[in-house]
Structure 1
C-alpha cells in the first residue's frame, strides 16, 4: 500500500482528502499533520471521523518521514520549503495551495506577494489539471493542484478556445461558490446571519485565481488570453457553478462546438458533457470528482455560454489531488474516485 501523508489535515481541504483517501484501494493514510491541533486526534476536530480516522496530528517532519506521497493543504506561502524537503527525500509531493501554480515569478509576486524560494523546483512542477495536461503529470515528483475556480473555468472554455471557435479577448467568467471555498476560519461574510439568504460578489476583478486561469487558457489557445472574473459567495456548503461567456467567431454553430467538446472530452471519465436542453447544476456533482458542462448560444449577441459545475472540495481540491496522485504513481486514474454523486 502507498503511504499517504497530509499536512494541514484539519482544514476543509485536508479533511476532505482524509475522507476520500480512506476509500482508496491502493493507498492508506500514514500520518496527518496540523500545527493548531498537534498532539490531538483528528476525530477530535472532526467527530464524523470517530473510530474511522483517529490518527494523532503530528508535525510536518514526522508526516514526511512516514509517507511515500505528501499532500500539503496549506495557505499560500507555506509549501515551498516542504516541497524542497520532500524532493530531497525522494517523496512525491502534491501542493494543494498556490505556491507552484504560476509559472511566472512576476505574477506570483504581484498576486501572492511572495517569491520563488527554489526556482529549480518551480521548473520541475507539473500543473495538475489532468484533462488538459495529463502527460505532464505522469511520473512527476511535484504537482501543483489547481485552484477550484481555475479548474471549473478552463474546463468550460478550453475546447472552444483551442479550436479557435471563440475570441481569446473579452471572456467573462461569472462564478458562484459554496462557503467551504473560504476555508474553515470564520469571517464576517461567512457568518451564518450574514451569509444566509444572501448572494454577494467578492474580490471582483482582483481574485488570485485570475492569472492561473489566464495561464491555462493561454496555453491551450496558443494566444495570450485575458478574462474578466467575478466570483460570488452563495449560501451552500459545496459547489462551484461557472458561467462563462466568450464571443463566437463568425459562422460557428452549436454542432461544431459540440463536436469540439466531444473530441476533447469524449474519453474523459470525469467530464460529463450534458445533452442539449440540460444545464449544469452543482447538485448533480456534489461529493464527486465530476465536472458537468453544458453549452448554450446566445444568437442575439453571437456569444457562447459555457456552464460548468464542480464540487469545489472534490474536483476543485481533494478529489483532483487524488487523481493527480494516481497519475504520478502509475495507478488507475479513477482509483478511489468512482462513487456516484448523491441523487438528492
Structure 2
C-alpha cells in the first residue's frame, strides 16, 4: 500500500492562459513514474480551488489565476509556503517559477525538498528588466536547497557555483516515443516551430526575420503554440509583415502535434534562452532534424541530427533552414539519426526521478 505522499508543485498547467509551456507534460510523466511507489499530489495554478484525479495522480488547483498574469505568479509564491507549512507529505518536488525561481518552500518545512529547475529564470528576468536583483536573489535562495535537479550541465555549473553544498542532479526531460511508424523527413512539407508564444524569449522575431529576408530559399513555416494575448498579437503583426509563407495554427493537442510532426521536414528552435527544449526532443523522437542557435543548454543533441548556428545570427539561421529545405536526402539521414538517438535517450532518463526520490526517502 502506498503510504508516503510526494507533492509536486508547478505554477504552469496545460490550461494556464499565462504560462502554458512544456513543464506540465514533464510533470505528468514524472508524477506517473513516482505513482508506482508513492501517493502523488500535483499542486498547480487554477481559477478556483479544485481537485481532479488523473489515473493514480491527484491534481489540486490553487485559486490564484484570477489575479492576472503577474499577480498570479506573486500570489502563487505567497500561497505555497503556507501549504508547505501545514500539508502532510514525505517529500516535495518544487518546480521553479519566475521571476526568482524558488518559491521558498525549504524555508517552511524540515522535510526533504528537491528543487526542479525546468528553468533558472533569474538570468532571464535580469536581462529583460536590466537589473541584477532577480539574479542575485535567485542565487541566494538556491543555497537553501539540499538537492536541485537541472536539465543540462550548463545550469548545473551555475547552481554549483552559487551553492557548493547543494547536490546537483542532471536529469533531462523525456517524451514518449511515437506508437506508430515514423514517416521520413525527406517527404516533409514544411518547417515547424512548436512552443509557447513568447516572441522575444522564443526568438520568433528572429525566425520571422529569417523568413522575411530569404522567403524563396525556405520551406513554408508552420507555427504551433499559444501564449498571453499581447504576445499572440505581437506574433500576428510580425506574420502580417513577413511576406513569406508562414501559418500560425494556435495551440495544438497531442494528436495535433503528432500530425504536424509527421508532415514536417524539420523543426526550428530559435530561442534566445532555453533550459532543454522539449520541442527539440519531440522532433528527434519523430525523426525530424532540428535547427537552432548554439546555446550551451542545447548541446545534448547528437551530431548528425541537428544544425547549430551562431547565436542570434539571422542569416546563419536562414542558411541552416535552407540547407535542410533543399536537401531531402540530408533530412532523411538526419531524421534516422535523430530517431535512433531519441529512443535510447528517452529510455535512459525515464526512471531517474524515481531513483532520486527513493534515495532521499530511504
Higher relative CO (Cα under 8 Å, sequence separation at least 6) belongs to: 1
Structure with larger Rg = 2
TM-score category of the 2 structures, normalised to the smaller one: 0.3 to 0.5
Higher helix share: 2
Output the TM-score relative to the length of structure 1.
0.41
